[in-house]
Amino acid sequence: MDYTEAPLDLDFSRGGLSLEEEGKLLRRSVLPGGVRVLSERIPHSHSTSIGLWIGAGSRDEGDEARGSTHFLEHLLFKGTRNRGAKEIAERIDYLGGDFNAATAKQYTCYYGHCFEQDVAPSLNLLSDMVTGARLDAGDMEMERGVILEELSMYNDDAAEVAHEAITSMVFGDHPLGRPVGGTRESVSALANESLHNHYSAMYGPSELVVTAAGAVDHEQLCERVHAELEAGGWDMSGPGVPEPRRTASLIAPVEPATRYIERPVEQAAVILAAPSFDLFDERRRALFAMNAILGGGTSSRLFQKIREERGLAYSTYSFPSLFPEGGMYGMYAGCAVANASEVATLLAACLEEIAADGVSDAEVESAYRRIRAEIIFSNEHLSSHMNRLGNAELIRGSLTSQSELLRKARAVTAADVQEVAQFIASQPRSLVTVGPAVG
């Protein structure tokens, strides 16, 4: 049975769900307290990818708590009511060592990959971290230094600095324009009380989504999740209603800007970007095809024009960044600072060339084949299945089958690609260059 976007969203609102595709069984349940559990049983798997998702990211922080979501991610590994930091680390290594966490603009996820016989102890560990975080003031001070070092590491990477800068330039003061990890100033000023308040507000049954893919029994998973969360002190007795998916206000247009950011690096990072449409716009299928043609591979326009024909850069690519509230489309190149202006001109020229002259059917076919490979190859990894369940529940509100994704990618035409290029090319562009001091 194929499953597509609209019916799946409707089923989400009703609570339970059970669908099968190509031998894989997808199930969704809402537990007492409002916890959502989604699983995908994949035949012949002997391991399981598990994620515990909190539907809040850096976008959802108050002004006094900038960087708190990422800070919490660190502190949940520093100790719980039942385990110290070393015990958590030892348990991770005992279970195979493939446990970690990720903070994004829209969510936080604590995840692990384990053998099928270790699903129960893996859930015990992850649930203990989520429900029983100690958030000790001393641990916080110790970890503050670690996080500041992490921010310094990114601050030494010209490409990272450029990506953070262009996001804030295109999105302006919108919460999605903030750095996920906060700034040195916000992290240095963050109080332990603010962390506790953020944890209390965001970490609870109605905010939690549990996803698992691979060798998983849905009924056993639900029973284990309920038991672990209840043992962790969460109230799992009431009917509970899941929190609705969060969104912020729509991203408002901002004036385009040009910035040069000095860093003691040998190679400049150049990004040219413009506003795009949101995550749910059907034109995104054509945008993904345009992205493959413009900057998605070694035959792409950017790679051929900037690297192969002129030797101006080693790395160059394009990228869409789409959210429910709006989006951005950017083009990147790393080059000598003396060539930054010429490279920026070429980035714009490659986009404008597609907008003016379109693309060939051969390019569209090649783009489809690359997109097809991304879809199918990613589905060979259990973590991809686990992640798509979390994203479907927390961000999209729907889940699209592999066959439907391929059908929509196949339907994109050269005219669709040119139309999207014309739209992007018509938007105001911002330019950031990160490089060494110039005389």
- List pLDDT tens digits, range 140-198: 999 999 999 999 999 999 999 999 999 999 999 999 999 999 999 999 999 999 999 99
Q: How far apart are CA 217 and CA 40, in angstroms?
A: 9
Q: Please give the Cα distance from 208 to 202 (Å, whole number).
A: 9
- 8 Å CB contact between 175 and 58: yes
Q: Out of 22, 40, 61, 73, which one is annotated catalytic?
A: 73
DSSP run (H or E) holding 336: none
Residue 21 annotated to the active site: no
From first CA to last CA, the distance across the chain in angstroms is: 65
How many alpha carbons fall within 13 Å on the CB side of residue 111?
Answer: 25
Nearest alpha-carbon partner for 206 in 392, 30, 396: 30
Strand intervals (E) in 290-396: 316-323, 326-335
The CA angle 137-140-143, to the nearest 5 degrees, is 155
Q: Where are the beta strands (DSSP E) in 34-140?
A: 36-41, 47-54, 99-103, 108-115
- b/e 226-262 (16+ beta carbons within 10 angstroms → b): bebbbebebebeeebebbeebebeebeebeebeeeee
pLDDT score, position 391: 96
Collapse the DSSP code of 429 into the 3-class scheme (helix H, G, I; strand E, B; otherwise coil) and give the result: coil
Tens of pLDDT, residues 27-51 = 999 999 999 999 999 999 999 999 9
Query: For residues 32 and 15, what is the distance between their CA atoms, to the nearest angstrom?
Result: 11
Domains in the chain with CATH codes: 14-231 (3.30.830.10), 258-435 (3.30.830.10)
User: DSSP letter string over 116-156?
Assistant: GGGHHHHHHHHHHHHH-B---HHHHHHHHHHHHHHHHHHHT
Contact between 38 and 393 (Cβ < 8 Å): yes
Q: Are strands 430-435 and 108-115 parallel, antiparallel or unpaired?
A: unpaired
- Residue pLDDT, tens place only, 328-385: 999 999 999 999 999 999 999 999 999 999 999 999 999 999 999 999 999 999 999 9
Would you say 269 and 313 are in contact if contact means Cβ atoms under 8 Å apart? no
Residues recorded for the chain: 439
Could you tell me which residue, 74 or 13, shows the higher pLDDT? 74
What SS3 state is found at 303?
Answer: helix
Going by pLDDT thresholds of 50, 70 and 90, the confidence category of residue 6 is very low
Location of structure tokens 């929509």: 408
**CB neighbour list of residue 234: distance below 8 Å, 6 or more residues apart:** 33, 131, 204, 205
Q: What is the pLDDT of residue 84?
A: 96
Question: Tokens in use for 259?
Answer: 């910035």
pLDDT tens sequence across 105-146:
999 999 999 999 999 999 999 999 999 999 999 999 999 999
pLDDT at 19 over 90: no
Nearest to 179 by CA among 192, 197, 162, 193: 162
CB atoms within 10 A of CB 415: 12
Which among 39, 218, 212, 50 is positioned nearest to 125, based on CA atoms? 50
Cβ atoms of 47 and 113 closer than 8 Å: yes
